[in-house]
Structure 1
């Protein structure tokens, strides 16, 4: 991986969300009156791209929330332990004749880097755990002579991805390859801890100072002089829905100083987040030179100039690509033709046309075989900032040595996760005290907006909570009955850390993101939100449901949630639980079945 910093170049903005409720019209005009609940401010434009790049470059951090992800299990040795995190470096010889002793734990997270020799003749002795989660990077040697247990994950060579699904049942025309859905690149390929530098036009006005604070301490800012004030974009939202946007401020970038040029010369990779306000234009010559040396990703804007020749990847969305190219049509083939046309016209290596919920289409000049990368399904969410997340993820991956195909796969997955977690509104910044606080891995987004909308129309907000580590019939029955009590059902889920404290070693069995996705797919559930504490009291204070549902034989009077709901007139109810169903019992039955199977062999 390049040792130089990842340099983000572009126009810093200040994004401001004024949040509240609108339940009446003004007496002097047919306009809604918004009762303001709080104001949130965050770095926007290239600032948002820099914040996301910094989080994405550290795989221990969730890009949407900025919180630490759960660390990987420590490496262990011994007959009952787990052999994990085995990495073969590039150009290494074959990893061969690996033997796993009887009764050993699973051989997991084996990663073979590009250029490594074959992983061959791996022998798993009777009674050993499964060979699982083996990841072979594109270009690695063959995986040969291995008896592979179910659920082994092998990353495909990027030029061939057979069997991938089409996007939203749309027909994929001949010549368009599809890539399977992936979560992310292996950790060994991430740019862990790389420095992120933001080069942007910045003055000393109040908006500029707020934007600097919103960037945080982890991003170094190198300023181009700004003649004017920092642009501010203000959204007015009622019940979580935008009503109005106000734009103010703006200026003209000046001549870049020697420090700016030195930073570009030292860059290990560059992301241009062009918002059409001139920063990229005044640095065009330096960026053209840099594109000859390091990976450069250009996220273009209709009001800005084209990407510089030699850029590794340009990332217009479908609407922008249609504005840049005169190729007509809205089909997948039309998107592919426009991408190839722009790659040739701009002189860039690849163009990834982002298609929103459909994923992205990677093209290059003269190619008739673009790569379609479908996006994983997302329940709800906010797409604001998804383009910045896509470009930032692609830049981080290229900085780590990924191929463009790999970079786009990771960018699609990260952008989908970002949207599902609430989009740009979930990114931390500055908030007034009246704004609802963030909780756990899921920031206040759909759940809080949903609760406000239901209350505004006089409906009943119902909430319930739990770990939901292995969703079973008891859970499903409880959720269905809870949903019938009111007008919406919000499920509060223990985070991984909270669940581990509650249930002890070996838990969770299912990571938080998977638990939330499964719950959100149920017809009885309207929104899902996570909390980090041992109990959901703090979350309920912000959510303020009318009814809190608990399953089992609890006494409502002894529950901490009951005390919380009484403060705003809510009610706790206990519903009977389906007898004989529990996650712990299912896990124990599975363990006994696995042990019996090993003895039978």
Structure 2
């Protein structure tokens, strides 16, 4: 992302206060615990926390991150109370702050915590957001990516007209709230949590009232259609997230990298901030969601908003152990799965490997912790494509694929489709080129046996094995190969 194009965070900032202490006795006049206060901490919440997190990630935490990272601009509403000044003092060293006037005071959320566990929350404050300034309009017009952190307090509603125009040509990530307004049409990614998605989703479905992955994925697809957004990532807390597109019958599940116990306060802001930063650095929504699941899990594991190191920089998510290229695809899949990683597989003939193949394989590898290629054998290719195919024999196709850094293992199969092999590998994700369109892939039912998901990734336009072979044959006056093949 060009350094002069900032990531702009828009939304309602809160002042979060944690009053920490111990509670070992009840009050004599009521059955209520007595908190012996030891210390008190203030921090920005809501959009203020999201902006802080977006600017605090190390440059390589988001996929393809630029060396210096983008400038973070926060557009929010602040008043003139002591609480508002506390928020300014907390934010000014970390982000460029652009204020809308607030008639009233910033909302203050105070948590009373005993031994790190919340006992009670007290909310106070709030106000009416004033008019949009020219400085804010200019910042939005110059943004590369915009994250809307909507807490239903009026900032997103005040800027809705500007955001609606912006979504037509700028990446917009929207973190919604049931009390707020729906995302503007054209948002690149919307990030409700499971409870918010259930509250916001209209309609009825057999899985809609449950908490299964199919139900969450269905709600994500319905909301993506209703909101006319490119994709919806429904966050599931310690269970990860599901990513769905409008009308999607096969939403993609992103399991967590590790089991995490800890205070989840701020994890949703971390997820949205990570996804926005990753998209700003050129990631696909699938890559951004994968990175957001990883980083928000690490955020909670490191102590979340209570982590003292947070305000000096967010601790980077632990990198997955490096995968060594291997000839044993089955052992690799078992090893990655055993340590909680995500196994990704794809398949095809890969005859005359071209730029479309390479781009798809690189993107597929970024969605998980290893990539296994299920390769059609020569017998299988000939049965599918006819005489004269494959153009490149099996051993050579294996050698070329093995030479790609993004491919960790290759497994050959003789059948028309790799269902038997997939049952041995049991990948979390099955990736195919997007030229398959919306038709249901034959492997989808197999993946569903163990909760796996199908992910379609686009190919580069105009690049296919058959097209290359036909051009070559036409140039030399040879017979053209039969069969249509862009997927392999």
TM-score range, shorter chain: 0.5 to 0.7
* Whole-angstrom distance in 1 between the partners of 2:159 and 2:142: 15
* Whole-angstrom distance in 2 between the partners of 1:397 and 1:185: 5
1:383 partner SS: coil
Matched ranges for 1:364-403 at <5 A: 364-403=245-284
* Whole-angstrom distance in 1 between the partners of 2:126 and 2:309: 23
Q: Deviation of residue 366 (structure 1)? A: 1.2
Q: Deviation of residue 189 (structure 1)? A: 3.3
2:23 partner SS: strand
Aligned to 1:329: 209
Aligned to 2:286: 405
Aligned to 1:40: 41
Aligned to 2:390: none
Q: Deviation of residue 428 (structure 1)? A: 6.4
Aligned to 1:286: 162
Matched ranges for 1:199-278 at <5 A: 199-278=75-154
Q: Deviation of residue 379 (structure 1)? A: 4.0
Higher helix residue share? 2
Contact 2:260 2:297 in 1 (8 A): no
Q: Deviation of residue 216 (structure 1)? A: 4.2
* Whole-angstrom distance in 2 between the partners of 1:189 and 1:15: 30
Q: Deviation of residue 59 (structure 1)? A: 2.4
Indicate how the Cα distance of structure 1 residues 48 and 428 shifts in structure 2: closer, same or farther if over 3 A, else same. Answer: farther
- Note the aligned Cα RMSD (angstroms): 2.1
Contact 1:207 1:229 in 2 (8 A): yes
Q: Deviation of residue 359 (structure 1)? A: 0.6
* Whole-angstrom distance in 2 between the partners of 1:59 and 1:440: 11
Indicate how the Cα distance of structure 1 residues 206 and 33 shifts in structure 2: closer, same or farther if over 3 A, else same. Answer: same
Aligned to 2:13: 12
Q: Deviation of residue 325 (structure 1)? A: 0.7
Aligned to 1:311: 187
* Whole-angstrom distance in 2 between the partners of 1:392 and 1:414: 10
Matched ranges for 1:426-437 at <5 A: 426=307
* Whole-angstrom distance in 2 between the partners of 1:286 and 1:415: 30
* Whole-angstrom distance in 2 between the partners of 1:439 and 1:295: 25
* Whole-angstrom distance in 1 between the partners of 2:129 and 2:313: 39
* Whole-angstrom distance in 2 between the partners of 1:409 and 1:251: 37
Q: Deviation of residue 29 (structure 1)? A: 1.0
Q: Deviation of residue 410 (structure 1)? A: 0.6
* Whole-angstrom distance in 2 between the partners of 1:427 and 1:245: 21
Indicate how the Cα distance of structure 1 residues 272 and 7 shifts in structure 2: closer, same or farther if over 3 A, else same. Answer: same
Q: Deviation of residue 300 (structure 1)? A: 0.1
1:96-153 per-position Cα deviation (integer Å, ceiling 9, x unaligned): xxxxxxxxxxxxxxxxxxxxxxxxxxxxxxxxxxxxxxxxxxxxxxxxxxxxxxxxxx
Q: Which has the higher contact order (CA 8 A, sep 6+)?
A: 1
* Whole-angstrom distance in 1 between the partners of 2:310 and 2:77: 20
Indicate how the Cα distance of structure 1 residues 369 and 230 shifts in structure 2: closer, same or farther if over 3 A, else same. Answer: same
Q: Which of 293, 301, 310 lines up with 1:420 in the alignment?
A: 301
1:225-269 per-position Cα deviation (integer Å, ceiling 9, x unaligned): 101011100000011111000000100101111111111001111
Unaligned runs of 5+ in 2: 317-488
1:5-52 per-position Cα deviation (integer Å, ceiling 9, x unaligned): 100000010000000001111111111111100000000010000000
Q: Deviation of residue 420 (structure 1)? A: 0.3
TM (norm. structure 2) is 0.61
> Is 1:55 equivalent to 2:56 in the alignment?
yes
Contact 1:42 1:428 in 2 (8 A): no
Q: Deviation of residue 441 (structure 1)? A: 6.5
Contact 2:238 2:260 in 1 (8 A): no
* Whole-angstrom distance in 2 between the partners of 1:205 and 1:368: 50
* Whole-angstrom distance in 2 between the partners of 1:287 and 1:404: 20
Q: Deviation of residue 376 (structure 1)? A: 1.3
Q: Deviation of residue 427 (structure 1)? A: 5.7
2:229 partner SS: coil
Unaligned runs of 5+ in 1: 61-183, 431-437, 443-601
Indicate how the Cα distance of structure 1 residues 191 and 441 shifts in structure 2: closer, same or farther if over 3 A, else same. Answer: closer
Contact 1:190 1:397 in 2 (8 A): no
TM (norm. structure 1) is 0.50
Matched ranges for 1:456-475 at <5 A: none
Count of residues in Structure 1 that have an aligned counterpart in Structure 2: 310
Q: Which of 350, 358, 371 lines up with 2:231 in the alignment?
A: 350
